[in-house]
């Protein structure tokens, strides 16, 4: 059977999504014909699309990097026109979309562009399908809506289209049958991840592998050594996901040997030079299992890698395990420097002292630390944001990265923002959370919020005695803009000098 996967992306990033890679691996075992349609290489005339790399460079997050020409592939054609041409040329029997909430507008535009006379079966999965199930069902655009884990679902859908399975026997799926939608049985969460197939990257083009890191271009691999998250942060979809499953086992792991066997094969097959672990918290494993995994990684792969963590799971013994590992950077979710916001609004239970301690432990081990910080959180004040600035200054991570908070439907905090009327109308637009805030709240003006956001990297890179000057740059007037440009150039020059010294 011919199956077309659609990756509705609008920001180039050299990324191979785990869900599509796994589903492609499932179907590849049965020798189906598979192809990927990636919208990011095309023109997308939808309001809000920006160049994420350029935005990140402006925020002093990414240093300029010269990527190989193949990594900058672009096609001068509208995304929907190219999609219809692909359907007509490839003639798939199934088109499978996997999407989060913000790119869902791309999916809607693609489906509505299909000539109904030549319409293949359409399936949708991903976070948006579960977070906003009613919206997706009410659209009546799809034949199959996957609302659980997708490995069994995609096999069932393909068998149903081939006439080898009844619609009621496709697990984890809402099926449109005779014009009506019927929800089928939801299977328990998969417990043994080692049973999953290897990621299939044969559907990706060369540009999906190239990614910049600290001024150098690498061929990167993407991997998750676990599924789930043990925390219950209210801004995150994981909490809603596990409530849907009514399952308390919130995290599942691949065995260390299984991880490294797959990563070793992919490294050799695709000539990788760097790895990124996308686990919600790579440090959640026990010290014993983490040690086993890193020892195997060092022995059989030994490429530089980056990963994510939570300050609460960083310990002396775990950091010591990284001394012999080739870990270049760890991303740590700080979110807010206000313990009130973290505890009462986000339900993220971690102390400021623990954040400072964990960052110090990692840096002492020679590991770069990047903190992620959200501005414009519900009920956040100007003082709360200045606490975020101060915490990052006290902790002194290598990089403190800001983004605007986004109220995702289906999360408790996102739904609360809609209930309180905090969300500006933005339906039908694309958004980059480095430069667009959709929240308006009575306790802080958008001008104040945007001013703090644009000067965040200045506060992180300039001495405290310059704070009165940086405050001028928070204002979007002639003086403020001039001061901002001057300070921004000073910091940019400083970063370039450091980068040149390290190369």
Distance, in Å, from the CA atom of 213 to the CA atom of 459, rounded to the nearest integer, reads 23
Q: Are the C-beta atoms of 238 and 127 separated by less than 8 Å?
A: no
Q: Does domain 2-183 have CATH number 3.40.50.280?
A: yes
Work out the widest C-alpha separation in the chain, in whole angstroms.
72
pLDDT digits (tens, 9 = 90+) for 250-298: 789 999 999 999 999 999 999 999 999 999 999 999 999 999 999 999 9
Dihedral sign for Cα 310, 423, 136, 138, please.
positive
Closest CA to 2 of 123, 87, 60: 87
pLDDT digits (tens, 9 = 90+) for 414-469: 999 999 999 998 888 888 888 889 999 999 999 999 999 999 999 999 999 999 99
- Summary mean pLDDT of the chain: 92
Task: Give the DSSP H/E element, type plus range, for residue 391.
Answer: helix 382-395
Distance, in Å, from the CA atom of 262 to the CA atom of 470, rounded to the nearest integer, reads 49
pLDDT digits (tens, 9 = 90+) for 10-31: 876 678 999 999 999 999 988 8
Q: What are the tokens at 105? A: 């507008």
Residue 327, beta-bridge partner list: 305
Q: Are the C-beta atoms of 439 and 51 separated by less than 8 Å?
A: no
Domain boundaries, the chain: 2-183, 224-461
Closest CA to 372 of 342, 341, 336, 401: 401
**Beta-carbon neighbour count of residue 84 at 10 Å?**
15
Closest CA to 254 of 233, 297, 225, 231: 225
pLDDT of residue 58: 74
**Domain covering 224-461, topology:** pyruvate-formate lyase- activating enzyme (3.80.30)
Q: Are the C-beta atoms of 267 and 239 separated by less than 8 Å?
A: no
Q: In this prediction, what percent of the chain has a pLDDT beyond 90? A: 77
Looking from the CA of 448 toward its CB, the CA atoms found within 13 Å total: 14
Dihedral sign for Cα 87, 88, 89, 90, please.
positive
Give the mean pLDDT of 186-197.
Answer: 93
Confidence of residue 247 (pLDDT cuts 50, 70, 90): low
Q: What is the pTM of this model?
A: 0.94
pLDDT of residue 73: 82
Confidence of residue 248 (pLDDT cuts 50, 70, 90): low
Q: What are the tokens at 187? A: 């299977």
Closest CA to 456 of 492, 494, 402: 402
């Amino acid at each position: 059977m011919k199956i077309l996967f659609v990756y509705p992306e609008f920001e180039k990033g050299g990324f191979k999504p785990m869900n599509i890679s796994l589903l492609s691996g499932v179907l590849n075992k049965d020798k189906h014909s598979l192809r990927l349609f990636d919208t990011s290489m095309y023109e997308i005339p939808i309001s809000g699309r920006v160049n994420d790399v350029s935005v990140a460079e402006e925020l002093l997050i990414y240093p300029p990097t010269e990527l190989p020409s193949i990594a900058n592939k672009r096609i001068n054609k509208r995304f929907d026109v190219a999609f219809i041409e692909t359907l007509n040329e490839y003639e798939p029997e199934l088109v499978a979309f996997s999407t989060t909430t913000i790119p869902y507008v791309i999916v809607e535009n693609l489906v509505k562009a299909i000539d109904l006379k030549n319409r293949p079966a359409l399936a949708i999965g991903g976070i948006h399908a579960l977070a906003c199930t009613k919206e997706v069902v009410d659209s009546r655009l799809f034949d199959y809506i996957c609302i659980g884990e997708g490995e069994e679902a995609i096999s069932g859908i393909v068998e149903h289209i081939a006439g080898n399975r009844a619609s009621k026997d496709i697990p984890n799926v809402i099926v449109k049958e005779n014009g009506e939608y019927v929800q089928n049985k939801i299977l328990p969460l998969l417990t043994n991840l080692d049973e999953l197939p290897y990621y299939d990257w044969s559907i990706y083009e060369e540009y999906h592998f190239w990614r910049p890191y600290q001024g150098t271009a690498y061929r990167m691999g993407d991997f998750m050594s676990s599924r789930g998250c043990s925390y219950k942060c209210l801004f995150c979809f994981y909490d809603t996901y596990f409530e849907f499953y009514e399952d308390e086992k919130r995290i599942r792991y691949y065995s260390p040997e299984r991880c490294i066997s797959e990563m070793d094969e992919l490294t050799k097959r695709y000539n990788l030079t760097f790895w990124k672990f996308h686990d919600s918290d790579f440090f959640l494993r026990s010290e014993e299992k983490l040690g086993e995994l890193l020892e195997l990684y060092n022995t059989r792969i030994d490429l530089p890698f980056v990963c994510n963590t939570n300050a609460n799971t960083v310990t002396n013994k775990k950091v010591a395990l990284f001394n012999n590992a080739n870990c270049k950077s760890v991303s740590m979710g700080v979110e807010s420097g206000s313990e009130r916001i973290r505890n009462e609004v986000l339900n993220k239970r971690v102390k400021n002292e623990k954040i400072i301690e964990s960052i110090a432990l990692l840096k002492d081990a020679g590991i770069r630390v990047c903190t992620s910080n959200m501005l414009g959180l519900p009920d956040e004040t100007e003082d709360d944001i200045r606490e975020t600035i101060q915490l990052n200054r006290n902790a002194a991570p290598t990089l403190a990265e800001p983004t605007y908070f986004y109220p995702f439907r289906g999360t408790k905090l996102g739904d609360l923002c809609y209930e309180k009327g905090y969300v500006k109308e933005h339906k039908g637009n694309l958004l980059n959370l480095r430069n667009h805030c959709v929240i308006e709240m009575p306790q802080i003006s958008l001008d104040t919020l945007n001013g703090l956001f644009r000067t965040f990297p200045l506060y992180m890179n300039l001495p405290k005695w310059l704070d009165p000057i940086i405050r001028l740059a928070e204002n979007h007037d002639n003086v403020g803009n001039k001061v901002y440009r001057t300070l921004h150039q000073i910091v940019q020059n400083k970063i370039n000098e450091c980068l040149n010294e390290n190369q």
